[in-house]
Structure 1
């Protein structure tokens, strides 16, 4: 029957076409689900410096920088990190993170990887010895320029001058030591200590003569520096009545003749310290000296719809009837009439005029 081969030929061709089509078809089909993209690589959330907190002079120690990731994993990125130190004379760090102690002291090591960074404080001092620090002061005020010396014991010969706020630090002391402190205008001080760990020891000094009498009523004028053109005109020159009380070297100044905003007892007065030379240092607020940032303003005044805040350190000289010098700090303004006063609407930092005239 001749028709059968023809039917077989047609059926075979159709089957071959169907097989060919199935081989070229997308398994998901048109409009089928798209495979999900691969997950993003974990990002670095912070950098961690691993290493000792103390290094001896002449000793070298390898520091490690670890990148902590969003998924909790940790990657050693020491070789890709930029290393630096605040004081290369005390501690040096090379490009691979190898830290070498140079001389007694302390400093910060910084590590930067990409947009992240970290810092770590490191002491440099002989192995087994300690840091002894504290404040040289009188009547609660720090005395700068005092000489603090180890005259016996481990660390004998170490000497340092007290710095801003009277702070001092000796590196490399241990056991029973004798500490001698002196400054012109004060009685010498001798202390015997047993140093068995890092610690603090303040030194109280006694003046050899009484201070001049500065109590009374003054007119205080604060004149913003020439760099303060961005301040509103009313904030550039402020004038107050200042009542000064005195207890030995300590002065307490209470201000009047203005609309002050007092918060937690602060805002309308400040304190001062009379040096033996009759130089007077006024503290018009609390500060972070490391960042040179005014944290609390001791003069806060409302003028119409504006609040003026003044803070800083005033170093002055005194003559009969006049106390004058420079206020190093900040004058800022705010639209707010109560704390917190941030954000500030204008601010000026630097040196400003400071004058008190006896009335």
Structure 2
């Protein structure tokens, strides 16, 4: 019965019951209780359904009640599949496909049931995916794309071969029916796969062509040892293009030691053998085979013992071969020799060229097709020997003689060479020979004279007797002598050969006025009195003389007194100078001296030699007079200013220290307080600025913290001016004395009348030597170290 027929029957019965109720009959006669709502018909929607495998379908049950109303009974009915192997159904009416087929779905409730039909078809394609998701391919290559379909039953299937493939930009890449994408140009395109109405798209990027192979090549397959071979690397790219990448690859060779290949592919040969040359770039490798053969002859150097030979003289030639590996070898005996043009020389197989006629020939050596040559010039016959003719008797020194030279040639002829030969003599200094063979005597002795021409020499002897003295020359470096000085005279003898000789110690010396100038046997002249005279030197009958003048004595040296002057800062010191003269006398020349100081900031000096110390330090004082100088180092000592105190009265004393800014800088006032036993009681350092004033209380600042704990009643206060820039803490145990300060004390005393009297005492200054300076610092350091705070005075007020 159909759902519609069931509904019609139900409505007919409902109408009958209603009418029966109206007539007063019991509702029970209508098939149910009077107040109970019951279903007469159950309808399943949909009545007929069809799904693909893997999908679900929701069935709903509607009850048509006996009261004419409808009710959703989907969750109330009992659902049942006629074949759970095809589809299952949940209590809520959700049918799940299991395998293809046709079944009935039944809903039952309160004895009523209804049936619907369900057809489970094969799984349907739901989505399509292209892999790889985003493909990239280099130009010239292809990429295989795959289309994967996902079905309604969640299974997947490769649909590459059944899909319809297309490319949005065919100029960039095309796709065939098998999903193979072939690159055409650099760029991007969208690739689409379609199966029915289901499509999928992915991006495909085509990058520039990539290197796929390397072809290694060289101009020759083999080269001799020592030569170089240029290798090339040709890159073959994925798009079929070819590019020279010789300078971009990495070059290697195996086995090692045969060639060394540079980054530019140039291979230098090092050993004979076969080698594999490899070029690598971007992971791509290419190789080539190469052979290094033994070194080959590349040149021949021909050398002769002489480039020129006289007719009749032979010349030995040698042939040296140079090979490709830089090695050389003597190939004289293996080379073939020729001499051209013919008739000038004959060359033997051993390279010996015999001259035959005057002229120039080219001597050539040939081996292995390589030739080398040199020139050989054959000159006319040359000189063989020279005979020298010299005077038979000895020549007195200073006289001349004539020599002669006769040459004998290779052809036996002779010629007079006297005027064309080159003349020499030995030992040197005995004779001199002119270009014409004239000999001049120069010294006593025997000389060998030689005539040389065209590389040939001949010799003879010449004897020279002693030369005679002609004159004596007397000389002196000074014609005027200061009184008391000495002067060495020199006597030079001039001989017949114009030579000279020092005769100072051999002549007799005489002074024409011995009371003016005296002269010793050695020629030492002494100035004895002012005046003029001649001094004579004699040897035999030859005499020479010179005139001398004796002038007043001259200054020879000056001295400065004291020799190492020391002046306290701000004090004066008179320097004096004593001059020494050539006659042995001395004289005070202080007033004549020109005085100078190299450090005017340290000290100044007056024209009269009075020096004043301006600043602690050292300076050089120079005294000058008539070109004579002397110097001395002056030391300007620092000052210590000292004051004495008496604290027995009980009345305090005020100490004031000021910096008058003489040095233009801030200073430290280093204060040392000694008791009446001269033991250091307290020490401290206080800054006193330029033009500043430091005020201290004797009782409160200088006597209040004694080292021993016992306050001194009397004693000494010593103040030293010191550098502040190098001692910013004014540490009194490490001072550098400098500058000057002024200190004075103010005393308040009670007179016999009971009145208070005020007096002021200025501290006295005394030089501070190095010993006292070191002692003060050492004692203060002792106080600072062992006093535990005791023994350190304080600085009062001011700056």
**Please, what TM-score do these two structures have when normalized by structure 2?**
0.13
- Flag the structure with larger Rg: 2
TM-score normalized by the length of structure 1: 0.26
Specify which structure has the bigger relative contact order, considering alpha-carbon pairs within 8 angstroms and separated by 6 or more residues: 1
